[in-house]
Amino acid sequence: MTERWLVAMSGGVDSSVAAALLARAGHEVVGVTMDLGSGREAAVAGSKRCCGLPDADDAREVAAALGIRHYTANYRDEFEREVVAPFVAEYAAGRTPIPCIACNRVLKFDLLLRRAEALGARGVATGHYARIDRAPGGGLGLFRPRDRAKDQTYFLFDLPRSVLDRVAFPLGGLEKRDVRALARELGLATAEKPESQGLCFVPDGDVRGALARLAPGHARAPGPIAARDGPVLGEHTGAAGFTPGQRRGLGLAGGPWYVAEVRTAENTVLVARGEELRASRVRVENASWLDGAPPEGPVRAAVRYRHQTVSARVRPTSGGGAELDFAEPVWAPAPGQAAVVWDAADERVLGGGWIAAAG
Amino acid sequence: MEPIYLDHNASAPLRPEALRAFAAAAAGTFGNASSAHAFGAEARAVLSRARRQVATLAGVAPETIVFTSGATESNNTVFRALGSGAHAVVCATEHPSVLEEAAALRVRGPRVTLLEVGRDGRVDPARFAAALAPGTALASVALANHETGVIQPIAELAELAAARGVRFHCDAAQALGKLPLGLRAWPVDWASFSAHKLGGPKGIGALYVRPGAPFEALLRGGAHERGRRAGTENVPAVAGFGAACEAAGAALDGEAKRVAELRDALWAGIARAVPDAVRNGSHEHVLPHVLDVSFPGVSGEALVEALDLEHVAVSTGAACHSGSTEPSPVLLAMGVPDALARAALRMSLGPTTTRAQLQRVLELLPALVARVRRARAA
């Protein structure tokens, strides 16, 4: 049956092919590029790559080639409020945020989903590498994609289950190389476009530089880098922006040293030797579970994107949090990152929470 | 489903007369109008005829009309000629091709006063007079607004400016062919026109330069257009512009009455079906074919898309550089609250608009407004 689908088109090859696949399946596809505005512009100022408007032009060109409608939608204020401002605030508080997760939940799978409804569309499709399929207990579940190297389920762990029947991930069953091949076959302008890396509004990966541009008012005073047990080993130019487990940029002798803790209130970065950073347990807050309740029994979990999962158990705590006990220690869990949980088969996303502290 | 086009303020479909004149000149009149030979003379004859046609519709003498690439170039030409110590008074609801020039002026030195408008979109003549200062070199107010269609009391404003020795520019891009114009009778020094807004080709327009008004060419390098605009004339486009002016002029009285009735019926229908809809701008001093309405609780951007998917083309009136929509700066300048400025829809009718088309819009619109509202509240 022909359905109207809204496709979030970033101007990259993945969402281009997602749109093409739905169109080829006979659906009425409406491409929408989100104009995320000044937050991005400010952060990419001075960088050669600009992720803002040229990408909308690419998306428009692909849409024209596919013969589908395309709109550019203004979500500047929402992106600033829901993604950029919390990103700055989290770093200021000494945490390590992952803005992509909020962008997915709020921008793509809430605001854009509402726009789909406003436009009479069945739902929102994106170029994410993830799958939606029948869950064992009934209903729909979120699963790892066929291409494990491109797996983006970590960034989707807190989607409410209620949206899954209005979301489509057309690339879930494909390998990335097939996606590129399809883009070439269709002659799409984005077929050879390089992968976007890292955060869209920090394309050069320089988080500390981006923080300086996004929050010029923030103090970036020099402060001590100290070992956990006391001695000052060096100096930094502002604690915000460091992340636990980080090794580069410390400039310390007698290493290797790793960031163990960021205390922005005291403008202090604490460092430790490698093994001390491993943790057998994390405490998470604002947990969300796709099945409506925390999983009982053994699960798989990871505390950062691209980390190998380890066996774990989840113990709910009061106030909507949980403790995760790992069968083997995990490397440098960072407050502000997500601890994401899959089923024991490591296939289906069960949910997760935001890391408050290790141990 | 046959598409319904209600965005004539953005661009109007080419009139058949304009297409014929354009095609005839493009196919047959290839000579350079500056050439001495017969081919040049033929091109000059085409230009001359079109100049008369444009001048007649504007109510001015043919030799006061300078062909340009459009109203943007015409507006730019007037502002670029201002000297650095000058002061300019510009209406806050002008088209970006005036407002951005005014902003650039500020950088170069001249002072600029942005003139406020009332909630009805109109300039208060007393306030206008008060903004004129010793040293004011230019006042610029559009005859009719590109978003709301609100018509300014140009004759009165121009008289006030003239009485103080202030030169007056009027952007008449939206008004030409929609209102009877007698520019000759007003102390307007310059006026800007665009062909494609009234069914002529794109990329062609004109600047009226009142006899005796100072003038400095924007483009130099030839004696074209009496030295006022260098560059080989776009003869086919000029021919199309002229023919469009003649056709629009011939139909003007009857057509203005016809579309005003259609527009009023459309508004009555909307007001019935969506009782909290708010019509923006003066209901009295407004172009006959324009209707600007805010639907509280609706994203105008989403409503434009929803209508487009039902084959009805309208606009929010304000597109930003990336193609997404900003809250309309015109409505904000009128004191319309931000939420309502983001909820606006501009419908501009034209010669091909029919009662049946508007009936279809009235059948669709209430349900779409309700759907967009529901989705937003979800």
B309 with A74: Cβ contact below 8 A: no
Residue of A nearest to B322 (CA): A53
Delimit the CATH 3.40.640.10 region(s) of chain B. Answer: 16-246
Q: Which of A204, A70, A159 is nearest to B323 (CA)?
A: A70
Distance from CA of A49 to the nearest CA of B (A): 17
B319 vs B82: CA distance, rounded Å: 28
Annotate chain B with three-state secondary structure.
CCCEECECCCCCCCCHHHHHHHHHHHHHCCCCCCCCCHHHHHHHHHHHHHHHHHHHHHCCCHHHEEEECCHHHHHHHHHHCCCCCCEEEEECCCCHHHHHHHHHHHHHCCEEEEECCCCCCCCCHHHHHHHCCCCEEEEECCCECCCCCEECCHHHHHHHHHHCCCEEEEECCCCECCECCCHHHCCCCEEEEECHHHCCCCCCEEEEECCCCCCCCCCCCCCHHHHCCCCCCCHHHHHHHHHHHHHHHHHHHHHHHHHHHHHHHHHHHHHHHCCCCEECCCCCCECCCEEEEECCCCCHHHHHHHHHHCCEECECCCECCCCCECCCHHHHHCCCCHHHHCCEEEEECCCCCCHHHHHHHHHHHHHHHHHHHHHHHC
Known catalytic residue at A200: yes
B312 touches chain A (CB under 8 A): no
**Architecture of the domain defined by B4-12+252-377:** Alpha-Beta Complex (3.90)
Same domain, A123 and A240: no
- The domain defined by B16-246 folds into Aspartate Aminotransferase; domain 2 (3.40.640)
Is B311 near chain A, with CB under 8 Å? no
CA A50-A53-A54 angle, to 5 degrees, is 70
Residue A79 within any structural domain of the chain: yes
| Distance of alpha carbon A166 from alpha carbon B125, whole angstroms | 55
Q: Do residues A10 and A74 share a domain? A: yes
Q: How many residues does chain B have?
A: 378
Nearest CA of chain A to the CA of B91: how many Å? 27
Bridge-partner residues for A70, per DSSP?
A31
pLDDT given at position A213: 85
Both A257 and A283 in one domain: the answer is: no
Say what the pLDDT of residue A5 is.
98
3-class SS of residue A284: strand
Residues of A with CB below 8 A from B326's CB? 74
The pTM of the full predicted model, rounded to 2 decimals, is 0.90
- Would A65 be classed as within a structural domain? yes
Question: Does some domain include residue A107?
Answer: yes
Residue pLDDT, tens place only, B134-179: 989 999 999 999 999 999 999 999 999 999 999 999 999 999 999 9
Low-confidence ranges of chain A (pLDDT < 50): 39-52
C-alpha count within 13 angstroms, C-beta hemisphere, residue A186:
27
**Is residue A202 one of the residues assigned to a domain?**
no
Is residue A281 domain-shared with residue A265, that is, in the same domain?
A: no
Check whether residue A29 and residue A164 sit in a common domain. Answer: yes
Contact A152, A100 (CB under 8 A): no
Q: Are A7 and A126 in contact (CB under 8 A)?
A: yes
Residue A190 lies in a domain: no
Interface of A with B in 105-144 (CB under 8 A): 114-120
Whether A53 and A107 share a structural domain: yes
Contact A330, A321 (CB under 8 A): no
Residue B319 confidence class, pLDDT cut points 50, 70, 90: low
If asked whether residues A349 and A255 sit together in one domain, one would say: no
Residues of A in contact with B320 (CB under 8 A): 35, 74
Tell me what pLDDT residue B142 has.
Answer: 97
Residues forming a β-bridge with B7? B348
> Is A156 in contact with A127 (CB distance < 8 Å)?
no
Contact A142, A105 (CB under 8 A): no
Q: What's the pLDDT band for B284 if we cut at 50, 70, 90? A: very high
Q: Residue A227 maps to which CATH number?
A: 2.30.30
Judgement on whether residues A257 and A287 belong to the same structural domain of the protein: no
- How far apart, in whole angstroms, are the C-alpha atoms of residue A17 and residue A23? 10
Residue A211 maps to a domain: no
The closest CB to that of B301, out of A4, A60, A73, belongs to A73
Which residue type, as a one-letter code, is found at position B68? T
Residues A49 and A68 in one domain: yes
Cβ neighbors of A138 (< 8 A, separation 6 or more) are none
How much of chain B exceeds pLDDT 90, in percent?
85
Segments forming the whole domain that contains residue A261: 219-272
State the catalytic residues of B. 320
Between B38-47, B92-101, B287-296, the lowest mean confidence (pLDDT) is in: B92-101
Task: Look up A100 and say whether it is catalytic.
Answer: no
Residue at A204 is within a domain: no
- Same domain? For A140 and A267 the reply is no
Question: Which pLDDT belongs to residue B377?
Answer: 72
Q: Is B308 on the interface with A (CB under 8 A)?
A: yes
Residue that is last in its domain, among A230, A250, A272: A272
Contacts of B309 in chain A (CB under 8 A): 4, 30, 69, 119-120
One-letter amino acid of A11: G
Q: Which positions in chain B touch A69 (Cβ < 8 Å)?
A: 308-309
Q: Domain total for chain A?
A: 3
Taking alpha carbons only, the member of A11, A32, A33, A29 closest to residue A19 is A29
What's the CA gap between B57 and B272, in Å, rounded?
Answer: 37
Which H or E element spans position A35? Answer: strand A28-35
User: Is the domain of A114 the same as that of A231?
Assistant: no
What residues in B contact A162, CB-CB < 8 Å? none
Which of A185, A206, A233 is a domain's end point?
A: A185
User: Does residue A82 form part of some domain?
Assistant: yes
The reply to whether omega before A203 is within 30° of 0 (cis) is no
- More confident site: A235 or B378: A235
Q: Are residues A83 and A125 in the same domain?
A: yes
For residue A84, give the CATH number of its domain.
Answer: 3.40.50.620
For CATH 3.90.1150.10, the residue range(s) in chain B are 4-12+252-377
> In the prediction, which pLDDT does A48 show?
30
